[in-house]
């Protein structure tokens, strides 16, 4: 690290590659990484386990305010069910407010951090010196999910599009590219190419900020 705090915000829609890129950036710069989507997945899974309705704002907020770090170790957080639940509960303003302080505290660690999600550069750490918005066409993202999990491609594509609509259309902290974020389209890139481009974009930002 450079001896100063470096916070990198990585945003983007489902299956864009933002998590893979964020983890690679964290390794490259020696920073802790937080997949903020896991927080919402944990809330959704815990609510569902208790028989709650993820569409109920009050119930979802109660679970979010009770969130414990150990919940993030649950093995089922990476599944599609958790992903769908997260997209629903994350639309509730009370849930987002309950998890805001936890995310900002992670970003405020000495030395900095890398966070990925849907509203990192716009809401969580709007002053981050480096911001990426990672995206890809819906068809490409659906094919990635389909290759990972199988099933019916058309259903996966419909789910991706529905998630995009929910994430971009919610009233609080919608998915959006921050005005000062660098856009990275991974549609035609390999993982290695996408990571190299991400590092190059961050390095350019850091050079500009230090000049």
Q: Note whether 27 and 45 are same-domain residues.
A: no
Q: Note whether 14 and 116 are same-domain residues.
A: yes
Residue 172: per-residue pLDDT: 87
Residue 1: per-residue pLDDT: 41
Q: Note whether 151 and 94 are same-domain residues.
A: no
Q: pLDDT band for position 3 (50/70/90)?
A: low
Give per-residue pLDDT as tens, 109-128. 999 999 999 999 999 999 99
Residue 97: per-residue pLDDT: 95
Domain count, the chain: 2
Q: Note whether 101 and 130 are same-domain residues.
A: no
Q: Note whether 28 and 123 are same-domain residues.
A: yes
Average pLDDT on 155-171 reads: 92
- Find the CATH number of the domain harbouring 10: 3.40.50.300
Residue 127: per-residue pLDDT: 96
Average pLDDT on 66-88 reads: 91
Residue 69, domain extent: 37-108
Average pLDDT on 119-146 reads: 97
| CA pair distance 120, 182, nearest whole angstrom | 13
Which of 6, 208, 10 is CA-nearest to residue 121? 10
Q: Note whether 163 and 211 are same-domain residues.
A: yes
Q: Note whether 177 and 83 are same-domain residues.
A: no
pTM of the model: 0.92
Last residue of a domain, one of 51, 76, 108: 108
Last residue of a domain, one of 108, 130, 148: 108
Q: Note whether 132 and 75 are same-domain residues.
A: no
Is it the case that residue 211 has pLDDT exceeding 80?
A: no
């Amino acid at each position: 690290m450079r001896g100063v705090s470096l916070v990198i915000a990585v945003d983007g829609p489902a299956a864009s590659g933002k998590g893979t890129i964020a983890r690679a950036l964290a390794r490259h710069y020696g920073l802790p990484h937080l997949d903020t989507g896991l927080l919402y997945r944990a809330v959704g899974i815990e609510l569902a386990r208790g028989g709650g309705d993820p569409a109920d704002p009050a119930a979802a907020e109660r679970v979010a305010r009770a969130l414990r770090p150990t919940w993030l170790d649950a093995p089922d957080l990476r599944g599609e069910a958790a992903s769908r639940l997260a997209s629903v509960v994350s639309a509730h303003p009370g849930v987002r407010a309950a998890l805001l302080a936890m995310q900002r505290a992670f970003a405020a660690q000495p030395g900095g951090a890398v966070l990925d999600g849907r509203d990192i550069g716009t809401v969580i750490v709007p002053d981050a010196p480096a911001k990426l918005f990672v995206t890809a066409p819906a068809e490409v993202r659906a094919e990635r999910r389909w290759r990972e999990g199988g099933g019916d491609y058309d259903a996966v594509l419909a789910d991706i599009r529905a998630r995009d609509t929910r994430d971009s259309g919610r009233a609080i902290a919608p998915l959006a590219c921050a005005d000062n974020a660098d856009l990275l389209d991974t549609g035609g890139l390999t993982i290695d190419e996408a990571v190299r481009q991400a590092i190059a974009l961050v390095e350019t930002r850091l050079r500009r900020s230090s000049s």
